[in-house]
Amino acid sequence: MSTGAGNERTNERAARRGVTLLEVMFSIGVATVGLLSVIALFPLGAYRMRKGIASDRAGAMGQSAVAEFDVRGMGRPDMWAVWNPNAGVNAFVPFVSNPAVWALPVAFPVPLTGVGASFCIDPQYVARAVNDGHTLPTLFPDVPTAVLPLDQSPEPRMARVTLRTTPGASPVLAGNPNPLFTIPRTVADEIFFLNDDLLFERPTDATQPPVGVFSYDLNANPEKRQYEGSMSWLATLSPILAATGGPAHENLYTLSIVVFENRNLDTDIKANVDVTMEPIETVLNVPIFSGLGGGGGDVTFATRPGRPKEDLEQIRPGSWVMLGARLRDPETPATPGAAVFRWYKIESVDAESVLDTTQTLDPNYDVWGREVFLDGGDWNPNVAFPTQATILSGVVAVFEKTIRLENSSLWTP
């Protein structure tokens, strides 16, 4: 009896050493789910890595651009030139470097002069616009006239300027269509593109190292290393305001270095006149400040009359937007005065745009609206004239610094 019982227990232990088919299938399922979960993280990891690389490069470029701005004297108004809308091709006019006047020797379609004028230093855009036959590369933002008419002075606009090769008076040469010697497109690209992202060619033989890409002269000699040019920048200058609402000092400005990744520099002339085309610089209205402007806060963006809701689709968390508004002239309150501009980072966005049929956002039109949360400096929502927002695709970072324009002595009170 005892021998039989022992054999039975031995057989039971031997049977337990195996696994059932159900257990095998369950194990395979667990392993498969785990592997799929890991694989699903690869795109997210690659996306985060690209964002990290872009942020790192944007930080390096922002610091470099601030130094470039100072070294090249971009804070000197006598280094600026603006396209003359009343002349032919390649006709530029200088600014009179008196900040109390900011006079232009030609009539301008919108008020860009006077105390507290703002400026956009963007030679890359100006050079391309002139080459493409653009009739008005002088304004920032540059949008179709049907969206932002030129004759409405309350609308905040900047003068978009390019740089001259030398400050002050330039020699006038017979037959020279560009007497101010503004920098050409090639020079503008050298200054405003990040040239650290070098290009390489990978040989078909995987054992060989990558080979750098060069440009060549007429004799087929290597001339210069080529770069991708995915990162670029421009600069905006907006006056520092006093408690009275006017400029605190005619020379004190906020310098904003705006860094782009894969900026769209297509300046097709049709984009300036055709309201149905997608603009490369989008203008929105800002009718509601739910957060009262403190630190940016909750605001509502609305499309301009006649524009589609796709204008609001460019708003994404992590992107940047520039708010702008005109203030009252201290001497004549009914007249629009200085225009002020500030950059803000978009932290969050409502899931969808909503069509406002109650005309709450616009008293005359049904427009699309979308609520966003902005992070930045305080903004006064009680300005005399409406606030507008400008969105440029591809902005990844903005660096700001208070500067004094180099048109007077540092010891001038």
pLDDT tens, residue by residue, 6-52: 555 555 555 556 677 788 888 888 888 888 888 888 887 777 787 77
How does strand 158-163 pair with strand 80-83?
A: antiparallel
Pairing of strands 252-261, 80-83: unpaired
170-184, 187-201, 227-241: range with lowest mean pLDDT: 170-184
| Backbone φ, ψ for residue 105 (5° rounding) | -75, 5
The span from the CA of 320 to the CA of 282, in Å, is 12
* Residue 398: Cβ within 10 Å count: 21
Per-residue CA distances from 283 to 23, 254, 301, 381, 388 (Å): 62, 21, 10, 18, 7
CB 268 within 8 A of CB 281: no
| Cα–Cα distance, 142 to 228 (Å, whole number) | 26
| Antiparallel, parallel or unpaired: β 320-328 and 211-212 | unpaired
Q: Say what the pLDDT of residue 337 is.
A: 67
Q: Please measure the distance between the N-terminal and C-terminal CA atoms of the chain and give it in whole angstroms.
A: 116
238-293: per-residue pLDDT in tens? 888 765 555 556 678 899 999 998 888 876 544 444 555 556 788 898 988 887 77
Nearest 5°: CA angle at 229, between 223 and 234?
Answer: 120
Determine the Cα–Cα distance for residues 288 and 372; give it in Å rounded to an integer: 11
- Interhelix angle for 185-192 vs 123-131, to 10°? 150
Higher pLDDT, 339 or 147: 339
- The secondary element (H helix, E strand) that includes residue 342 is strand 336-349
- Res 3: pLDDT: 55
Q: What is the DSSP letter of 179?
A: T
The DSSP H or E segment spanning 45 is: helix 21-71
Question: Residues with Cβ < 8 Å from 348, sequence gap 6 or more?
Answer: 317, 372, 373
What is the mean pLDDT of the segment spanning 353-380?
A: 85
Question: Of the ranges 118-127, 190-199, 369-378, which one carries the lowest mean pLDDT score?
Answer: 190-199
286-303 residue pLDDT tens: 988 887 777 888 899 998
Q: Pick the range with the lowest mean pLDDT from 151-155, 343-347, 380-384.
A: 151-155
Calculate what percentage of the chain has a pLDDT beyond 90: 14
**Mean pLDDT across the chain:** 76
Do the Cβ atoms of 58 and 261 come closer than 8 Å? yes
For the whole model, what pTM was predicted?
A: 0.78
Q: Count Cβ neighbours within 10 Å for each residue of 374-397 and write b for 16 or more, e otherwise.
A: bebeebebebbbebbbbbbbbbbb
Output the pLDDT for position 203: 80
* Res 351: pLDDT: 85
- pLDDT at residue 144 in the model: 65
pLDDT, residue 408, reads 58
- 62-90 pLDDT, tens digit each: 888 999 999 998 988 888 888 766 555 45
- Give the DSSP letter of residue 203: -
Convert the pLDDT of each residue in 307-350 to its tens digit.
Answer: 888 888 888 898 999 999 887 665 555 666 677 899 999 999 98
Cα–Cα distance for residue pair 371/178, rounded to 1 Å:
46
